[in-house]
Structure 1
Amino acid sequence: MSGVDPDFYRRVMGRFATGVTIVTTRTGDIEHAMTANAVVSLSLDPVLLGVSIEVDARFHDAVLEAGVWGISILPSSATGTAQWLATRGRPLHNQLARIPHVSGLTGVALLSGALAHVECETTDTLRTGDHTLLVGHVVSVATGDDQSAALVYYRGQFGALQ
């Protein structure tokens, strides 16, 4: 109805610098992870966080089933991790085998060396076109000792922001 070209829209939104995170969840004995930059603080009372997940991504069904998820905010040194977990078709099993991580309060993987961690229980979902917006009640937050620059995404490239 709007007549906006999706490819041009993507290029326009690429001019909006975003932080880079890894979103994780767990179903059974499988740890699921994906790179995400569509993460937003939604509310302070109650404390809510949102993340947008592509409906066609296999992470989508896993996180809906699990009902809990974690966010690891990446330092600029984690570009390789962000690229790996953004790769379509990577093996489902052992995605985090070579990535140091710990199990959080909810049982989801939280990446070691992250600038900060947030864990959520899903409270609501909203199907928005080809994505679902997950709304999570924040149950745990932590910051690391790392004072590194943050990993950011701008114009289709990873970069750093001090």
Structure 2
Amino acid sequence: MPPDLRGTMRAFATGVCVASTYRDTPGGRRHNAVTVNSLGSISLDPPLVSLSFGRSSAFLADLLASGRWAVSILPAGGRELARRLARPSAARAADVAGLPARPGDRTGALVLAGASWLECGLRDRFDLGDHTLVVGDVLAAGPGTPQPTLVFVYGEYHSVADPAITTVDLSGPGHWGEIL
């Protein structure tokens, strides 16, 4: 019997983001955006992040075509937006057109107003299992407005109500897998 990966990973709280990209067409630029919870920080020097998408994802196809994307980290008030952008591509197209967003200065991908954000350029991609992992160079970043964060755990959205209760310095030895 295979391990119950989906059932087990439901207990792992993840941040909720909106990834955006675009495709240039003869009719003009067509933006695309989707809810993701696979954002990973890979390296600080150089600054690299990753996202993971199902191989048949229309969003992934657009991202690979443009080589550019943005990620906006959703605040707790973004639950409904997260739900709408988690739908299939055709169903979310109208929501993408009405996003409270601006094109990023470095990529042209949409950055949500008030959210913490990253703009990325495609560095590499890896087909792994039924997904493709994309790794991006962080070209620009902004902290957004400090506010409670949206997380996903046990199949539901939740709020991290006090995001700045304690400040921890993670730059010293012993953090994030460093050998002491």
Within 5 A, what are the aligned runs for 1:56-67? 56-67=56-67
Letter in 1 for 2:66: A
2:139 counterpart of 1:139:
yes
Letter in 1 for 2:108: G
Deviation at 1:98, TM superposition (A): 2.5
Deviation at 1:93, TM superposition (A): 4.0
Q: Distance in 2 between matches of 1:150 and 1:93?
A: 25
Partner SS for 2:99: coil
1:32/1:95 contact within 8 Å kept = no
2:111 counterpart of 1:110:
yes
Q: Distance in 2 between matches of 1:20 and 1:156?
A: 12
CA RMSD of aligned residues (A): 1.4
| The structure with more radius of gyration | 2
Deviation at 1:44, TM superposition (A): 1.1
- In the alignment, which residue of structure 2 is the partner of 1:33? 33
Q: Distance in 2 between matches of 1:118 and 1:35?
A: 15
2:17 counterpart of 1:16:
no
Number of residue-to-residue matches in the alignment? 156
Deviation at 1:41, TM superposition (A): 0.3
User: What TM-score results when the alignment is normalised by the length of structure 2?
Assistant: 0.82
Sort the Cα spacing of 1:110 and 1:89 in 2 relative to 1 into closer, same or farther, 3 A: closer
1:31/1:94 contact within 8 Å kept = no
Deviation at 1:92, TM superposition (A): 6.3
Partner SS for 2:134: strand
Partner SS for 1:90: helix
1:58-79 residue CA offsets vs partner (Å, 9 max, x unmatched): 1011101110000000001000
Bigger relative contact order, structure 1 or 2 (CA pairs below 8 A, ≥6 apart): 1
1:31/1:108 contact within 8 Å kept = yes
Q: Distance in 1 between matches of 2:56 and 2:37?
A: 17
2:153 counterpart of 1:157:
no
Q: Distance in 1 between matches of 2:73 and 2:41?
A: 13
* Identity within the alignment, %: 33
Larger mean CA deviation between 131-140 and 98-107 belongs to: 98-107
Deviation at 1:9, TM superposition (A): 1.4
Q: Distance in 2 between matches of 1:90 and 1:113?
A: 26
2:84/2:92 contact within 8 Å kept = no
Q: Distance in 1 between matches of 2:89 and 2:34?
A: 12
